[in-house]
Amino acid sequence: MNTSYLSLGSNEGDRVLWMQKAMDLLTENCGRIVKRSSVYETAAWGLGDQPDFLNMVIEIETDKTPENLLTEIHRIEQLLGRQRSIKWGQRTLDIDILLYANEVIDLPGLTVPHPHLHERLFTLVPLAEIASGYMHPLLHKSIGQLLIDCTDELEVHIFSKE
Verify whether residue 152 is a known catalytic residue.
no
Active-site hit among 94, 106, 120, 152: 94
Verify whether residue 91 is a known catalytic residue.
yes
Rounded CA separation 41/33 (Å): 21
Active-site hit among 15, 36, 82, 120: 82
Verify whether residue 94 is a known catalytic residue.
yes
CA 3-5-7 angle, to 5 degrees, is 160
Active-site hit among 15, 32, 36, 91: 91
Active-site hit among 32, 63, 75, 96: 96
> CA distances (Å), 97 to each of 130, 150, 155, in order?
15, 19, 22
Q: Are 97 and 43 in contact (CB under 8 A)?
A: no
Q: Which parts of 12-136 are beta strand (E)?
A: 31-36, 39-42, 53-62, 94-100, 105-107, 110-112
Rounded CA separation 127/133 (Å): 10
Active-site residues, by number, are 82, 91, 94, 96
